[in-house]
């Protein structure tokens, strides 16, 4: 499996996980101040941080001579890279949308 195919598979898995987490939350249990979008963003951010933490843990285990499977290490690092790239792309889109709104004539 190539790196691009692995990244695509991880992206689909992460998106499925996000969609399942968003569908599992019951509307009656939501806080009145949090919208569904805010919860989706919060879940995505926590997932991105989790993948970064998992990659760092795998890297430290490999560096310190612990039991580190090369396949799981590469998978964790590429998953973390994909999460980071996704977060950066979303950030750029939000900034561009904000700039477009600011440039609109009133």
Mean pLDDT of the chain: 78
Domain residues of the chain, as ranges?
Answer: 3-103
Using the predicted structure, report yes or no on whether residue 102 has a pLDDT greater than 90.
Answer: yes
pLDDT at residue 35 greater than cutoff 60: yes
Helices 36-63 & 70-103 angle (0-180, nearest 10)? 140
Q: Is 50 exceeded by the pLDDT of residue 1? A: no
Per-residue pLDDT for 100 more than 90?
yes
| Cα gap 100→106, rounded to integer Å | 13
pLDDT in tens, 44-76: 888 888 888 888 888 888 888 777 778 888 888
- Enter the pTM of the model: 0.56
Quick one: CA dihedral 8, 75, 14, 52, positive or negative? negative
DSSP states of 42-99 as a string? HHHHHHHHHHHHHHHHHHHHHHTT----HHHHHHHHHHHHHHHHHHHHHHHHHHHHHH
The answer to whether 63 and 28 are in contact (CB under 8 A) is: no
Q: What's the confidence (pLDDT) of residue 92?
A: 92
């Amino acid at each position: 499996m190539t790196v691009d195919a692995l990244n695509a598979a991880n992206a689909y898995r992460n998106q499925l996980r996000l969609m399942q987490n968003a569908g599992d939350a019951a509307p009656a249990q939501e806080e009145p101040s949090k919208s569904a979008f805010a919860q989706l963003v919060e879940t995505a951010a926590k997932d991105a941080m989790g993948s970064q933490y998992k990659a760092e843990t795998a890297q430290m285990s490999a560096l310190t001579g612990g039991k580190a499977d090369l396949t799981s290490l590469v998978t964790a690092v590429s998953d973390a890279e994909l999460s980071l790239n996704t977060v950066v792309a979303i950030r750029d889109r939000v900034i561009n949308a904000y700039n477009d709104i600011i440039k609109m004539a009133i």
